[in-house]
């Protein structure tokens, strides 16, 4: 490819509304252009990278015995009603009607479609296990698209779905996918970690997310400082304190805390540490007998809604109590609630239950209680893990302490079980000629997001630094004064022809630009290998080479150059 035939839309200035580095560089390098909120055009250079990512994913999926198919973006609503997700999925599901008034949705994921396909096509246990994947556009009407293609509304995803007669078989495929994912992200040159994850709205049992470590990530990942343990903070267990609770030494006293409603306000009002204060939150209960439930965590901790939601007493989805309910249950406004004397169920976090002589709301506006103790002054209906882990907590694996880093979720694998196969009645005949519901796994990779994630981890002040595996071109040739020097032109064209015939993806910058412009553009778009050819070198019988990551260029004798380059390209 020659730059004269390529839309090379680089810009010197960074568009003002791009915040993260990958978004800035994708715009500056001319990979993508915004169309509307969360919608992007992919320009030729960006698409070349996207296709490379797809290629690696496809290659490894096929190696892992998954078969490629393609399912429609537009999906009939009936299937969503059949699975029950028409109600559950909410406003992220973009619904549309055709000319006949029939309802459809733009697919945010394809569990319903694949399950429908499989129930129609697969008849016998002899055909199982089977694993299908597709690389397809998804649409999710995100609350807040941001960071360019990192969180866009339309995006490309690889999604795979496996079907099994039993959970043992599912677990084997899950493990195969786990290994395939590790190979994929390794080939993509990413610094990543598999982490234990919550299954979220998609449902199911076991689940791992694959996260690219980057400060711009939107997820918090909890790591152990001493083991391989890694889990999304949504899931990471906050283990019970090992030490016994200290003896009660104080008596309960009611103190005025005018206008102090938040933990921070109470803290500054009473001049105590936040960990001495317990906060009590009222939420919707699961049953009519317990319409409101109290949740208690320590002032320096935050409630984990996902953990809370899983408790039998707590309504799903997690919903805070209304002001009316709070007044009816506690006799005060939010901000002055405490566990003492409440007649509703009180669920206490394990760590909060280890506090003694603590401070909490007095269930009377603008008053708090000090010197409160569990059992003596307040009863816990249930003690459970309902908070987020924080840095320094003991790791649930038993080794080391928790450390928290930001991650970009680029892959997610689930053991779904039979949620969808049951809902859609996807069965096959087993050895006994009996219909049996299928076990199901699903495995996603965010293709477009990966492009951004790679850039987040591979850039410098000059621009993008592509890993070899997904660079839009492996090599660029930058000629010096080619329009004035027939000798240079001859050498450049010969090099271009040789490399092209070798099957190397080479970009020849044949624009009549100044050297500085060409150097800067090639560095901005991140081509790994650079060859400079000019009279200066030719006079000495030399050709210049520089890797994008090299500090300095080196001059190589002409007759050794091809062997030198082959070694650099791993073609030797």
Partner RNA sequence: CGGGAUGUAGCGCAGUUUGGUAGCGCACCACACUGGGGGUGUGGUGGUCGCAGGUUCAAAUCCUGUCUUCCCGACCA
Binding site for RNA (CB under 7 A): 10-17, 19, 34, 36-37, 143-147, 261-264, 279-283, 302-305, 320-321, 326, 334-337, 361, 388, 462, 480-481, 483-484, 512-517, 519-521, 523-524, 532-537, 544, 546, 553
Min CB(437)–RNA separation in Å: 36
SS3 assignment, position 80: helix
Contact criterion met (CB below 8 Å) for 460 and 119: no
Residue 303 β-bridge partners: 387
Please report, for the chain, how many H helices and E strands are present, in that order.
Answer: 15, 30
In what helix (H) or strand (E) does residue 458 lie, and over which residues does it extend?
none
Please report how close the Cβ of residue 496 comes to RNA at its closest, in angstroms.
Answer: 16
Q: At what angle do helices 44-63 and 167-187 cross, to 10 degrees?
A: 140
- Strand order through the sheet with 95-97: 74-76, 103-106, 95-97
Report the C-alpha gap between 366 and 260 in whole angstroms: 7
Closer to RNA by CB, 415 or 542: give it.
542
Shortest distance in whole angstroms from residue 303 CB to RNA = 4
What is the Cα–Cα distance from 246 to 244, expressed in whole angstroms? 6
Extract the tokens encoding 358.
């603590």
Residues 6+ apart with CB under 8 A from 209: 194, 195, 196, 197, 219, 232, 407, 409, 411, 412
Nearer to RNA, 337 or 565 (CB): 337
Minimum distance from CB of 520 to RNA (Å)? 3
Q: How far is the CB of 551 from RNA (least distance, A)?
A: 10
Cβ 297 to RNA shortest distance, Å: 8
**Helix, strand or coil for residue 73?**
coil
Q: Which residues pair with 401 in a beta bridge?
A: 394
CA distance 533 to 485: 11
| Closer Cβ to RNA, 372 or 438, answer by number | 372
- DSSP strand E in 323-434: where? 346-349, 358-361, 367-372, 382-384, 402-417, 427-429
CA distance 216 to 219: 9
* Residue 421: DSSP 8-state: H
Q: Which is nearer to RNA, 86 or 321 (CB)?
A: 321
**Minimum distance from residue 329 beta carbon to RNA (Å):** 10
When the beta carbons of 129 and 407 are compared against RNA, the nearer one is 407
| Residues, the chain | 572
Q: How far is the CB of 450 from RNA (least distance, A)?
A: 19
Q: What is the full DSSP assignment across 521-557?
A: HHHHTT-SEEEEE-HHHHHTTEEEEEETT-SS-EEEE
Of 178 and 318, which has the nearer Cβ to RNA?
A: 318
Residue 571 tokens read as: 């073609």
Provide, rounded to whole angstroms, the least separation between the CB of residue 362 and RNA. 10
Question: Please, which residue, 217 or 534, has the CB nearer to RNA?
Answer: 534
Cβ neighbours around 218 below 10 Å, total = 13
Longest Cα–Cα distance in the chain: 96
- Chain-centre distance for alpha carbon 490: 49
Nearer CB in complex with RNA: 115/363: 363
Closest distance of CB 471 from RNA, Å = 17
Q: Which is nearer to RNA, 261 or 405 (CB)?
A: 261
| Of 15 and 398, CB closest to RNA | 15
């Amino acid at each position: 490819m020659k730059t004269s035939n390529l839309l090379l839309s680089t810009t010197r200035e960074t568009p003002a509304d791009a915040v993260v580095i990958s978004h800035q560089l994708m715009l500056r390098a001319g990979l993508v252009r915004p169309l509307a909120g969360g919608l992007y055009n992919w320009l030729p250079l960006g698409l070349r990278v996207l296709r490379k990512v797809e290629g690696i994913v496809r290659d490894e999926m096929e190696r892992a015995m998954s078969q490629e198919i393609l399912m429609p973006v537009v999906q009939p609503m009936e299937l969503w009603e059949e699975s029950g997700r028409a109600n559950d999925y909410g406003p992220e599901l973009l619904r549309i009607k055709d000319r006949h008034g029939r309802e459809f949705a733009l697919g945010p994921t394809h569990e319903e479609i694949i399950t429908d396909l499989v129930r129609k096509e697969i008849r016998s246990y002899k055909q199982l296990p089977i694993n299908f994947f597709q690389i397809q556009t998804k649409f999710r009407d995100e609350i807040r698209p941001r960071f360019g293609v990192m969180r866009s509304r339309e995006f490309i995803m690889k999604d795979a779905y496996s079907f099994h007669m039993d959970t043992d078989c599912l677990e084997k495929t899950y493990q195969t996918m786990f290994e395939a994912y590790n190979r994929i992200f390794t080939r993509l040159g990413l610094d990543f970690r598999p982490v234990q994850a919550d299954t979220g709205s998609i449902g199911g049992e076991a689940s791992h997310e694959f996260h690219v470590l980057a400060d711009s990530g939107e997820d918090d990942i909890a790591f152990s400082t001493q083991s391989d343990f890694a889990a999304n903070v949504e899931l990471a267990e906050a283990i019970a304190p090992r030490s016994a609770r200290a003896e009660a030494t104080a008596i309960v006293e009611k103190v005025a805390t005018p206008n102090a409603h938040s933990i921070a306000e109470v803290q500054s009002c009473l001049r105590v540490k936040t960990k001495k204060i317990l906060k009590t939150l009222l939420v919707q209960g699961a049953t009519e007998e317990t319409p409101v439930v109290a949740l208690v965590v320590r002032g320096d901790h935050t409630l984990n809604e996902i953990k809370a939601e899983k408790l039998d007493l707590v309504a799903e989805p997690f919903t805070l109590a209304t002001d009316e309910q709070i007044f009816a249950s506690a006799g005060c406004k939010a901000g002055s609630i405490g566990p003492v004397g409440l007649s509703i169920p009180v669920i206490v976090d394990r760590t909060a239950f280890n506090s003694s002589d603590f401070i909490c709301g007095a269930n009377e506006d603008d008053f708090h209680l000090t010197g409160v103790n569990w059992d003596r002054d307040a009863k816990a209906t249930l003690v459970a893990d309902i908070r987020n882990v924080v840095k320094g907590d003991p790791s649930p694996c038993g080794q080391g302490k928790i450390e928290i880093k930001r991650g970009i979720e680029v892959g997610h694998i689930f053991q779904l079980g039979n949620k969808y196969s049951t809902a859609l009645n996807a069965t096959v005949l087993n050895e006994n000629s009996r219909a049996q519901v299928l076990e199901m796994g699903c495995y996603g990779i965010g293709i477009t997001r990966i492009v951004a994630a790679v850039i987040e981890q591979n850039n410098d002040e000059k621009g993008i630094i592509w890993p070899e595996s997904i660079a839009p071109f492996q090599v660029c040739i930058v000629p010096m004064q080619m329009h004035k020097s027939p000798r240079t032109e001859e050498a450049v064209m010969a090099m271009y022809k040789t490399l092209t015939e070798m099957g190397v993806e080479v970009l020849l910058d044949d624009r009549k630009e100044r050297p500085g412009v060409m150097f800067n553009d090639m560095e901005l778009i991140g081509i790994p290998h650079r060859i400079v050819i000019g009279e200066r070198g030719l006079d000495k019988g030399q050709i210049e080479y520089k890797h994008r990551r090299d500090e300095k260029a080196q001059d190589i004798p002409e007759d050794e150059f091809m062997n030198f380059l082959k070694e650099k390209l791993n073609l030797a």
